[in-house]
Amino acid sequence: MKQIASGLRHMEIEFDFILSSPLVRARQTAEILAKSYGMRDRLVLTPALQPEAPTSQIINEINEKYSQYKNVVLVGHQPT
């Protein structure tokens, strides 16, 4: 993930914040990305990205809380 984050920065891929599942591996992946971008304060853990959560849950959360942002990274353990 460190190499991927470095590649994203090299390609000048920008985003406003990171939403991540609170599950350990997803959270760790999101933390690596956040650290690489200096965005630890813009990493939000959400149960809406847990494997058992319906897709509509994360869509609704983004629409209700984060619709003002243009680019959002989603990190899930088993994303659908």
Q: What is the pLDDT along the chain (80 residues), one digit of tens a residue?
A: 999 999 999 999 999 999 999 999 999 999 999 999 999 999 999 999 998 899 999 999 999 999 999 999 999 977 55
Q: Are strands 17-20 and 43-45 parallel, antiparallel or unpaired?
A: parallel
Please state the pTM of the whole predicted model.
0.87
For the chain, domains (ranges, CATH) are: 2-75 (3.40.50.1240)
Residue 27 burial class via C-beta count within 10 angstroms: exposed 0-12, middle 13-18, buried 19 and up: middle
